[in-house]
A and B are shown apart, each in its own frame.
Chain A
Amino acid sequence: MDYDIAVIGGGLVGSSIAYGLSKKGHGVALLDEGDRAFRASRGNFGLIWVQGKGWDFPAYAKWTDEAAGLWPAFDAELQESTGVDLGYTRPGGMEFCFDERGWNDLNDCMARVRTNSDGAFEYEMLEHAELRKRIPEVSSAVIGASYSPRDGHVNPLYLLRALHQRLDAGRVDYLPNRHVDSIECLHGGFELRTNDERLAAGRVVLCAGIDNVRLGKLLGLNIPVRPNRGQLLITERVQHFLNYPTLQVRQTREGSLQIGDSQEDAGRDDGTTTEVMNRLASRAVSIFPMLKTVHVVRAWAALRVMTPDGKPVYQQSSHCQGAFGIACHSGVTLAAIHAGPVADWVAGGNPHPLIARFHPDRFDV
């Protein structure tokens, strides 16, 4: 056997799991595609986001909150071992609302998350005057915001880099530019075939984003994900003014602003569109009028890995012992829990009690 475990997919999900596995001393191969592959990780907004998640799915509310709670230790450990400053902070996050209906929906959603998390989720609804005390630059177009101290943010690209740097120092073989053509389930292991080589591993974990649909079929796993396009804008650096990450605008540590986000069903087209760029820009200016003269450095789009209900999928094959499929669109928020309990589970440890709730058989009802 070449490796104990082969992780397919070098994005945030695969890298976090490979990192967790390597810390426990497993021999890991991390297979990745090339420079132009679809990479949700490179289009990530960088939020570690709890608020609103799981309003209709209690296990997700708890899972997310636990994941966010693991972040401070995860950040410290990565920074210490790699020297890469991820820019992680947890000042609490906000979602702005622009009309009464939006306010009511948000209020309702927050209350449900609180119930679903057995009261663990903390939040406040901030009316305009209160919001303005915290963010004086906000315009009167914003009637209020939800605020949760559980939310934070990080530079998602530096997170990916730190993980890769740590993998290099650990026992993980990072194998880029490998397209996995076939996976065979043999006695006691798997044989993977890529462009020009064969590789044997005791276990295999699919973390390949939307390509999990194809790879899952090779192992008899049904991983029902589809691409969901998100576009965002990035501006030049400006003086620091925004101390909270928000769902609409986030100021990075370097000072540039990320403006998001859109949700579109565009198949595998990860291009940007004038219409959405226009909408994002005009919304940002309506929230913060002084951004009118700030230059856009680039627009970006990436394909989210979306399951039918938007919640993660964690599954283990029932007939191919040692094969796992993992899919989610929250590679940053869930990074610490992926490196911890999820990595332990794929290595053969006891599953976290919530993991069973994320099996895709929930879609068969």
Chain B
Amino acid sequence: MKARYSLVVVGAGPAGMAAARCAAAHGVDVALLDEQERPGGQIYRSVDDSPLSDPSLLGSDYLYGRQHVAEFRNADIDYFPGTTVWNLDRNRDVSVLVDGKSRGLGADRIVIATGAQERPMPVPGWQLPGVMTAGAGQILLKSAAIVPPDDVVLAGSGPLLLLMASQYLKAGVGIQAILDTTPRSNRPGAVRHLIGALESASYLAKGMGLIASIRQSRVPVYKEVTALNAHGDEVLEAVRFNSRGRDHELPTGTLMLHIGVIPQVHLAMAADCEVRWDEAQLCWRPGLDQWLCSTVPGIGIAGDGAGIVGARASQLQGRLAGLQCVYELGALTRDQRDLKAVAIRKTLDKHLAIRPFLDSMYRPSPEFLTPVDDTMVCRCEEVSAGEIREIARLGCQGPNQAKAFSRCGMGPCQGRQCGSTVAALIAEVQGRKISDVGYYRVRPPVKPITLGQMGNS
């Protein structure tokens, strides 16, 4: 690893690989840093080294990643797997942890491509052993060919949950039930975006295919699920919920939760990049211009980390961010950059056309944004929704004061699991907008590091 690169890309998912490839193709010296041992990000995890005897059960979108990863590996890029970025500041100084040692490197340009995280789905009992996120389940399937036991219950909403269900079915898992929490009231709003979504008709076709395959499997699907909670003394024993006005209880040892994904913005925030509240996607996303440049000079952000767009659009955004770096570094003129971007933007628009439909169709139910009082909001420090509401009633101005008053968000996850919920609860109690309430001030380290590593002792 050199002490300085013209471009440092963080994250080897579709956006990061594309940005690095684009810059390398124009002769820019690029380093790509990635936490994982293999390229592909979460979406293409282990795609060129699958432990599954038949990786095709993960679907053609997954297999598409093979080519992308192969091309990335052939490009002239200093690729550092197993390298964790634990801090990035506004001067583009990067602190990484590699082989258990901390070191720094500088960059003229940075592209952050850290992707998405699952949206926290706080329900009473979600901290019980036996409850996990569907995303974690999918990682186990992709990287270790591990499937859940046959009594598994899947709950939540969104395309990834459907995909997950269909992958499990193909892998022979006997899913006990699917609890669909999508509110019926989302439909009229979504229908308005249906015509626009036809621009990316292939997504719609895929979604219909997933729904059809689940229907054929005869797995019970409970619709319009509310009052969802995980029940058990020490570990999960049952899932309780209401579906279309009737109460149900299903005994199970495994519950997988999922209500969509949100951008992972902590690294960008550590670098002081401004984030804005996106009311359509109900998440914080970085403020970017049309070249994906953040509010901090020299730092671009592409892919799901910039707002949820999906794998293919992420790849295209990565190319745009790469082009912009090449231009800023002087290897392309403005006209050349603009010319190259035309086709990319055209394809990108097609992939983005589905988003308004998906965002409104799978908008999470308010029950999960502002959960009931006895829900654990901060799992690290065990702070309940009721306690946050109490603090909000004292007049507490925002998440940072709430954090100081309750320790909420002070644990090892750095607030990734509670940040949006705390803001939503304060907004609810005080009758304010979430955009006005704000988010945690993110401080390093953004990834775990020991005192010995940090001090190089």
Supply 22 A–B pairs (Cβ within 8 Å), ascending by A.
Answer: A33-B397, A36-B441, A42-B404, A157-B405, A160-B405, A174-B395, A234-B410, A273-B89, A277-B444, A281-B451, A281-B452, A292-B450, A293-B450, A295-B448, A295-B449, A297-B412, A297-B414, A298-B443, A298-B444, A298-B445, A299-B444, A300-B443
Chain B interface, >50% SS class: loop
**Interchain CB contact (< 8 A) of B404 among A160, A175, A278, A285:** A160
Minimum CB–CB distance for A348 against chain B, Å: 27
Q: Is B42 an interface residue (CB 8 A)?
A: no
Which residues of chain B have C-beta atoms less than 8 A from A343's C-beta?
A: none
Which residues of chain B have C-beta atoms less than 8 A from A206's C-beta?
A: none
Q: Is the CB of B444 within 8 A of A272?
A: yes
By a beta-carbon cutoff of 8 Å, the part of chain A in contact with chain B is 32-36, 39, 41-42, 157-158, 160-161, 164-165, 168, 174-177, 233-236, 254, 259, 271-274, 277-286, 291-301
**Interchain CB contact (< 8 A) of B457 among A165, A175, A285, A297:** A285
Q: Is B240 an interface residue (CB 8 A)?
A: no
Which residues of chain B have C-beta atoms less than 8 A from A35's C-beta?
A: 397-401, 437-438
Q: Is the CB of B405 within 8 A of A285?
A: no
Which residues of chain A have C-beta atoms less than 8 A from B148's C-beta?
A: none
Give Cα A7–Cα B308 distance, bound, in whole angstroms.
45
A-B CB pair tally, cutoff 8 Å: 124
Bin the interface of chain B by size: 35 or more
Which residues of chain B have C-beta atoms less than 8 A from A285's C-beta?
A: 451-452, 455, 457
Which residues of chain B have C-beta atoms less than 8 A from A292's C-beta?
A: 450-452, 457
Minimum CB–CB distance for B19 against chain A, Å: 25
Give the residue name and chain of the B residue nearest to A237 (CB).
Answer: B411
By a beta-carbon cutoff of 8 Å, the part of chain B in contact with chain A is 87, 89-90, 93, 95, 102, 104, 272, 391, 394-401, 404-407, 410-412, 414, 437-438, 441, 443-445, 448-452, 454-457
Minimum CB–CB distance for A177 against chain B, Å: 6
Minimum CB–CB distance for A172 against chain B, Å: 10
Give Cα A254–Cα B380 distance, bound, in whole angstroms.
12
Minimum CB–CB distance for B233 against chain A, Å: 24
Q: Is the CB of A174 within 8 A of B441?
A: no
Beyond known contacts A157-B404, A234-B410, A272-B443: 11 more, CB 8 A cutoff: A34-B397, A177-B397, A233-B451, A233-B454, A259-B451, A271-B90, A277-B87, A285-B457, A297-B411, A298-B443, A298-B445
Give Cα A157–Cα B396 distance, bound, in whole angstroms.
13
Give Cα A283–Cα B89 distance, bound, in whole angstroms.
23
Which residues of chain A have C-beta atoms less than 8 A from B445's C-beta?
A: 296, 298-299
Q: Is the CB of B451 within 8 A of A291?
A: yes
Q: Is the CB of A34 within 8 A of B398?
A: yes
Give Cα A301–Cα B90 distance, bound, in whole angstroms.
16
Q: Is the CB of A236 within 8 A of B412?
A: yes
Which residues of chain A have C-beta atoms less than 8 A from B441's C-beta?
A: 36
Give the residue name and chain of the B residue nearest to A160 (CB).
Answer: B404
Which residues of chain B have C-beta atoms less than 8 A from A41's C-beta?
A: 404
Q: Is the CB of B404 within 8 A of A161?
A: yes
Q: Is the CB of B457 within 8 A of A286?
A: yes
CB contact under 8 A between A296 and B454, given known A35-B438, A36-B398, A274-B87: yes
Quick one: which of A165, A254, A272, A298 has the most chain B CB within 10 A? A298
Give Cα A56–Cα B394 distance, bound, in whole angstroms.
41
Quick one: which of A35, A158, A254, A299 has the most chain B CB within 10 A? A35
Which residues of chain A have C-beta atoms less than 8 A from B406's C-beta?
A: 161
Give Cα A295–Cα B397 distance, bound, in whole angstroms.
30
Give the residue name and chain of the A residue nearest to B449 (CB).
Answer: A296
Q: Is the CB of A174 within 8 A of B394?
A: yes
Minimum CB–CB distance for B91 against chain A, Å: 10
Minimum CB–CB distance for B415 against chain A, Å: 10
Give Cα A111–Cα B451 distance, bound, in whole angstroms.
35
Q: Is the CB of B438 within 8 A of A36?
A: yes
**Interchain CB contact (< 8 A) of A282 among B399, B405, B414, B455:** B455
Which residues of chain B have C-beta atoms less than 8 A from A254's C-beta?
A: 407
Quick one: which of B405, B441, B455 has the most chain A CB within 10 A? B455
Q: Is the CB of A295 within 8 A of B412?
A: yes
Q: Is the CB of A271 within 8 A of B397?
A: no
Which residues of chain B have C-beta atoms less than 8 A from A274's C-beta?
A: 87, 89, 93, 95, 104
